[in-house]
Structure 1
Amino acid sequence: MFILDIDEIRELAFEIASKETENEFDLLKKTLQEKFGILLPNGLKTAAIEKFGDVASSPILYENVTNSIIRKKIEEGENNITIKNPKALYRIGVLGFLEPVNLNLTIEGNVGNFFGAFCNFYGTWTVKGHAENGLADKGYCGKFVIDGLATELVGQNNQSTSYSHGVDILVRKGCMERAMAQARGGNLVTFGAGFNSGIYMSDGILINLGDPGEQFGSGMVGGAIYTRQGTTTGKGAVIKKLDENDYVKIKNVLKIFEQELLIENLNDFSHTNTKLILTNIKHDEIDFKEFEKIIADKNTMQ
């Protein structure tokens, strides 16, 4: 287990900045290389100053340092990492591995935009807080559990290819607009989804266990959305009743998060046994007889 407290990096940067202004970046670069074995790119100095006025207060510095340390630890064989005090830092977990890596990552706090973008991993990344826009954008492989809320574009461009399944995401307190926008695979389970969720989906599954949504599935060409009755659809989507095969699909997706949701009777779930009890939310009983399916309207595709 490796623990990285980003506040320690912040303190180090500001301490150096308070003593040395002219060679601040060079000294910080040398110190981080000695302490963590990472090498900051020289262009980072110019980017930080141009966008934020100095190096020590620049989020660009901390996202680069954080991701460089994570990559370094993975290359050294570490597969359990905890990040403390992220303070909604942007682009944590943008690691750039072409092949999947083994990593369980825990974030103690909120994450900013594009957490886990382009991710490609085996394991679970848990956010003990909220997530901002673009969670797991263009993700290829991995499992995310968000304990709080997520804002727009959760699972956007979820990538299912000849060599990837896409990412599996659980958002415990719901997400905002355009969840699974342009998804080409993967799965999202959420307790509420905002306007235009499922827009331009071509594959993948979205299960909304929260209240009915609005304008789901605009421009869909594939995939499926399962949501409570009363949800409205956008142009290009149509509402259907659940059939026997839909219950199998729902069961398979929920199985991914069975441990996190503490589902009591998932093994017995079927089109003839439609109720589930989620013990992690005060024994809430969910009856999928109250759900419907949203898919692409083939008539608009002709």
Structure 2
Amino acid sequence: MRTGTQPGAPDDAAVSFDPLRPRLIRVAYRMLGSVADAEDVVQEAFIRWLGVDRAEVREPEAFLRRTVTRLCLDQLKSARHQRETYVGPWLPDPIVEEEEAEDVTLPLMLALERLSPLERAAFLLHDVFGVGFEEVAGTIGRDPAATRQLAARARDHVRAARPRFQVERQKGLEIANAFFAASRTGDMTALGAMLAADVSMHSDGGGKRNAALEVVAGFRRVMHLSKVLSVLFRKHGSTLVRAGFVNGLPGFVTMEADGEIQTTALEIEDGKVAAIYIMRNPDKLKHLH
């Protein structure tokens, strides 16, 4: 059944497009890991929507989702080279919400980075957004059997990044608040009690702000760096802006001494902090100001 929407003025296109925009941005962001790029892709999809005979489009959401996905696939071709030359560890732009995201957490987004663009599209569209394989196949230009194989391979690769169990919301926030307090007051005993033996720290400065140029792995190394950072926090200041969930993980936003904000997200397993993700790249924090 056709929508009955007739091609015409831009405001006519906006009526059918705007309710779908948040969902389209979710698809684009999870494909690209960048808020600004996701918004640009969705805006490009709207421009294309303006030129379409909308009366001929039976399912606008499916049509626009296909358009957005294909634009993302084109963008990922150049993004792969940019990631290879990125300064230090790469993390996706932080999304800070009051509630935890259930579909794609930060560790899963990092796992998606190791997939080919087609594997990523097949996995996200089918496993995360619930799109049927027939539509996914048409979107990525593969037959359904090949699309199923792409999704299956992706599933195998990202299985380890799926949380074995979700930390209870309030408990996660309590750990995040305790982590903030211990790291800013220099209570290394309390901080050490929160960390897993194989904890890792990932900090993304993008070459724009000071950050470790590699992932810091292991309890002793993370504790040593935490001591150094704690001294700097106490000397120069670090103010809590808000607590919440950063890309689905308990965390917080802070204002640092240089006048820039940063986000910290904590991956928690068995009640311990298994990974710390710190975003310091100002280009990736603009949307939070």
Give the TM-score, by structure 2 length: 0.32
Q: Which has the higher helix share?
A: 2
Give the TM-score, by structure 1 length: 0.31
Q: Which has the higher strand share?
A: 1
